[in-house]
């Protein structure tokens, strides 16, 4: 018995991912999702494929639950991936699951202490939760270990203002 793929027997998983990347870079996110899905059918045990499709969902911002499902599936194959925990944490943050996002972002840092984007996201979450001291601590770490970014310094100044630390806020605003 010969099985004929409905996807097209001449295309491989990597070819579909090349097409998906091209479509993603050109803003055709639905096309990128379709090609990622075709690649996953051909290679269902590949963490990178689930991760990349999850990133597309994360980028378009309309289906964060699908992004979370893809990141969770990717973590089954790469359970110590800081990058995947970071991405899933972002999707959870968008869905306002701040506790779940915090757990994922802290796990991302556990596996890669130089995942500075996780520190920044944790700073934002802690501010949203009203834990301004922790927020400033995460911002401090991010700023100390990353190129200074005016936007981040202003965000830290805003948190300092919420803490009623006006002197520290002014220092940030004047940088």
Sign of CA dihedral 127, 87, 22, 65: negative
Q: What is the pLDDT of residues 91-124, one digit of tens each?
A: 999 999 999 999 999 999 999 998 989 999 999 9
How many residues in total does the chain contain?
175
Distance CA 145, CA 105 (A): 17
* DSSP per position, the chain: -----SS-TT--HHHHHHHHHHHHHTT-HHHHHHHHHHHHHH-TT-HHHHHHHHHHHHHH-S-HHHHHHHHHHHHHH-TT-HHHHHHHHHHHHHTT-HHHHHHHHHHHHHH-TT-HHHHHHHHHHHHHTT-HHHHHHHHHHHHHHS---HHHHHHHHHHHHHTT-HHHHHHHHT-
**What pTM does this model have?**
0.82
Residue ranges of the chain whose pLDDT lies below 70: 1-11, 147-148
- Whole-number pLDDT of residue 10: 45
State the angle between helix axes of 116-128 and 132-145 in degrees (0 to 180), rounded to the nearest 10. Answer: 160
């Amino acid at each position: 018995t010969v099985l004929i793929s409905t996807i097209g027997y001449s295309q491989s998983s990597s070819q579909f991912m090349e097409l998906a990347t091209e479509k993603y870079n050109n803003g055709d996110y639905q096309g990128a999702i379709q090609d990622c899905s075709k690649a996953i059918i051909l290679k269902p045990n590949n963490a990178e494929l689930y991760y990349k499709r999850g990133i597309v969902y994360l980028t378009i911002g309309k289906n964060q639950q699908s992004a979370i499902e893809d990141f969770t599936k990717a973590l089954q194959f790469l359970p110590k991936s800081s990058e995947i925990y970071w991405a899933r944490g972002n999707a959870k943050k968008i869905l306002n699951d701040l506790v779940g996002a915090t757990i994922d972002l802290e796990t991302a840092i556990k596996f890669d202490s130089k995942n500075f984007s996780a520190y920044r996201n944790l700073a934002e979450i802690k501010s949203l939760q009203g834990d301004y001291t922790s927020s400033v601590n995460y911002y401090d770490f991010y700023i100390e270990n990353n190129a200074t970014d005016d936007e981040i310094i202003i965000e830290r100044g805003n948190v300092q203002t919420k803490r009623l630390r006006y002197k520290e806020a002014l220092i940030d605003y004047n940088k």
